[in-house]
Amino acid sequence: NAGVMQNPRHLVRRRGQEARLRCSPMKGHSHVYWYRQLPEEGLKFMVYLQKENIIDESGMPKERFSAEFPKEGPSILRIQQVVRGDSAAYFCASSPLVPGTGSNTEAFFGQGTRLTVV
């Protein structure tokens, strides 16, 4: 059972371009979370999705950012018209249940995508 797979591992974009970050959750996991991490900082929640549904996007900027988790295929975090402030590591995590709600509900993280906007 492969872990959470994120790609690309590193992504360089010029200001104004679009960035697409992909996340394939672990097999059998229907809960996907995206977090952003700036250097030397914590993990900031962005969005929580289940298949074909956005459950909570309260941590995601209202403009330029969107996320989806289609019925088939990976979850996608899309950032339009990137700016230098979007440079960060973006982590995806998956869980079979809402994480932290009981034993064996840990979140499994991917290796992250490091976005650099130049």
Partner 1 sequence: GQSLEQPSEVTAVEGAIVQINCTYQTSGFYGLSWYQQHDGGAPTFLSYNALDGLEETGRFSSFLSRSDSYGYLLLQELQMKDSASYFCAVSTGANNLFFGTGTRLTVIP
- Residue 21 near residue 113, CB atoms below 8 Å: yes
Smallest distance from partner 1 to CB 30, Å: 13
Tokens of 21: 């970050």
Our CB check for partner 1 shows the closer of 14 and 104 to be: 104
Smallest distance from partner 1 to CB 10, Å: 11
Q: Which residues contact 101 (CB under 8 A, 6 or more apart)?
A: none
Which residue in this structure is represented by tokens 């996320």? 67
3-state helix, strand, coil in the chain (%, to 5): 5, 45, 50
Is residue 27 involved in binding partner 1 (CB under 8 A)?
A: no
| Residue from 19, 24, 25, 35 binding partner 1 (CB under 8 A) | 35
- Residue 7 near residue 111, CB atoms below 8 Å: no
Site string for partner 1, 45-84 (x = CB under 8 A): x--x------xx--x-------------------------
Which stretches of the chain bind partner 1, using CB under 8 A?
Answer: 4, 33, 35, 40-45, 48, 55-56, 59, 91, 93, 98-103, 105-112
